[in-house]
Amino acid sequence: MSNDQLSVPQDELVQAWRKVLPERLHGGDRAEVWPDEADPKALRVHIRTAGRQMLEFDFAVRYADSREIDISLTDAERDGQTVDEGQDVMQALIHDYRRHLHECAQALQDVTHA
């Protein structure tokens, strides 16, 4: 277990993610980031895909320490209806967005690692 704890206030973390995450996504994809009110070391991320697919993904992002994040998919929807995340296309998209979330966390290490 690391002693490297996240010490950035949650509101600053949210603002940093709101600035950097859109730069990591595909053109036209939209992201919303807000604090997880139950956990000061966590964020909630909602991603809407570009185009006609009308796919939306919700992720919980929790800092394990100042550098590492844990990501959980909390919901996947198409046109407002929950979809099966097990489909190959969905798995590929989820994997891709998880990678973008990790890239965002890496880009913010100068903010999160004191």
Reported pTM = 0.92
- What contacts 5, CB < 8 A, 6 or more positions away? 65, 66
pLDDT tens-place string over residues 96-110:
999 999 999 999 999
Q: 25-29, long-range: CB within 8 Å, 24+ apart, which pairs? A: 25/100, 26/50
pLDDT tens-place string over residues 32-81:
999 999 999 999 999 999 887 789 999 999 999 988 999 999 999 998 89
The residue type of 9 is P
pLDDT tens-place string over residues 6-41:
889 999 999 999 999 999 998 899 999 999 999 999
The whole-chain average pLDDT of the chain stands at 91
What domains does the chain contain, in order, with CATH numbers? 10-109 (3.30.310)
Alpha helices (H) in 1-114, listed in sequence order: 10-24, 88-107, 109-112
Q: Return the half-sphere exposure (C-beta side, CA atoms, 13 A cut-off) of residue 82.
A: 4
